[in-house]
Amino acid sequence: MFALNSNNKIIHIKNALGKIDYYCANCKGILRVRNGKIKIKHFYHLAKDCGDRGESLIHRYWKEYFLTVKEFENYNIVDSRTEVSLLNGNYIPDIVLKTDKETYIIIEICYKNPKTSEYFEKYKKLSKLEKVFEIKVDFNEIIETKILYDKFELKNLYEELQIAKNYLINYSKDGGIVHRQDMYHPIEIYLSLHKDMKMAYRWSYNPEVKKKYKYPYKNSIVRTKVKIYLSVNTELYGNLITSPFYVNIYNERELEGSAYNGQLGWLCIKTLESQKEIIVCVNVLDKKYCWDIK
């Protein structure tokens, strides 16, 4: 489907002309065009066939194609480069496009081998990088465009985690987290909204029905300070976590007997700063208060 012309430029079979010599990228042998009535138009080796069908040129063909674009995914492109060495040579993307806002986007061409999640740490280190796109291609067409990294979406996710963290820290000053178990919610976390340890009632929040419930406070319950962090698992970026911090936790005995691998469970938080509910996972770092942390 692809060959090289005499100027070493890639030629797609649809643009190739008959009776012209083209060259195989694999064996450098001469190729000609055959366009009969039985088989579709294709290149053939004039001498011995090495078996290559131009697959090695697919990646290069699409890189050259995207180097010519002036607009991409609502970005205005002012410059484009290929094989740019970044992070002291530890990362060489297929194509780097410079936008009219002096920021950059990266395009990775995927014919057979998609990028793995290990590249995410590299993307985060590039301060002017806005997005990374992985474009899946075939011989003749773009099959799929996928976002591998979005700087602003990632920033928003971290801000949501920070809102949840601040929320818990502030409430922990006046009350604490109550750990409970029941049949439908294997591990739930409830917030105590009271400051006085001698209070008559405690409020809890059920994220499933989005309601608060008031129930009697028991004097036997004491607060224990526990070191935790919040995490949220994302499809695009994997597991994002906050820095560790301390909160007060009620029902320490329940916590020790039922927390699973240091995980308290999922917490649903809605604050004035956030228009939507933030769902995060609370993990215990202090082994002293969780018997089965590995």
Domain ranges of the chain: 2-53, 58-140, 153-289
Percent of the chain with pLDDT over 90: 29
Query: How far is Cα 14 from Cα 23, in angstroms, rounded to an integer?
Result: 16
- pLDDT for 194 equals 37
Q: Of the candidates 18, 19, 20, 22, which has an alpha carbon nearest to the alpha carbon of residue 8? A: 22
Which two tokens mark 38? 């039985």
Q: Is the pLDDT of residue 174 over 70?
A: no
For the domain made up of 58-140, the CATH class stated in words is: alpha beta
Q: What is the b/e burial string over 32-60, where b = at least 16 CB atoms within 10 angstroms of the residue's CB?
A: bbeeeeeeeebbeeeeeeeebbbeebbbb
Which is more confidently placed, 258 or 50? 50
The model's pLDDT over 96-130, given as tens digits with 9 standing for 90+, comes to: 999 999 999 999 999 888 888 788 889 999 999 99
pLDDT band (50, 70, 90) for residue 92: very high
Which is more confidently placed, 109 or 291? 109
Residue range 168-189: mean pLDDT, rounded: 54
CB-based contact 231:165 (threshold 8 Å): no
Q: How many CB atoms lie within 10 A of CB 30?
A: 14
- pLDDT for 175 equals 60
The model's pLDDT over 51-86, given as tens digits with 9 standing for 90+, comes to: 877 667 888 889 889 999 999 999 999 999 998 999
Which is more confidently placed, 210 or 1? 1
**Lowest-confidence segment of 31-40, 45-54, 193-202 by average pLDDT:** 193-202
- pLDDT for 250 equals 61
The model's pLDDT over 199-213, given as tens digits with 9 standing for 90+, comes to: 444 555 555 666 655
Q: Is the pLDDT of residue 43 over 70?
A: yes
- pLDDT for 185 equals 36
- pLDDT for 257 equals 46
Percent of the chain with pLDDT over 70: 68
- pLDDT for 232 equals 87
- pLDDT for 263 equals 67
Q: Of the candidates 109, 76, 111, which has an alpha carbon nearest to the alpha carbon of residue 92? A: 109
**Sign of CA pseudo-dihedral 272, 274, 279, 284:** negative
CB-based contact 111:143 (threshold 8 Å): no
Starting at the edge strand found earlier in the chain, the sheet holding 42-45 runs 10-12, 2-4, 22-23, 30-34, 42-45
CB-based contact 245:229 (threshold 8 Å): yes
Task: Name the one residue in this structure whose structure tokens are 């990632």.
Answer: 154
Q: How many CB atoms lie within 10 A of CB 67?
A: 17
pTM score above 0.85: no
pLDDT band (50, 70, 90) for residue 277: confident
The model's pLDDT over 133-167, given as tens digits with 9 standing for 90+, comes to: 999 998 778 999 999 999 999 998 998 889 888 87
Q: Is the pLDDT of residue 293 over 60?
A: no
Which is more confidently placed, 173 or 225? 225
**Lowest-confidence segment of 206-220, 241-255, 277-291 by average pLDDT:** 206-220
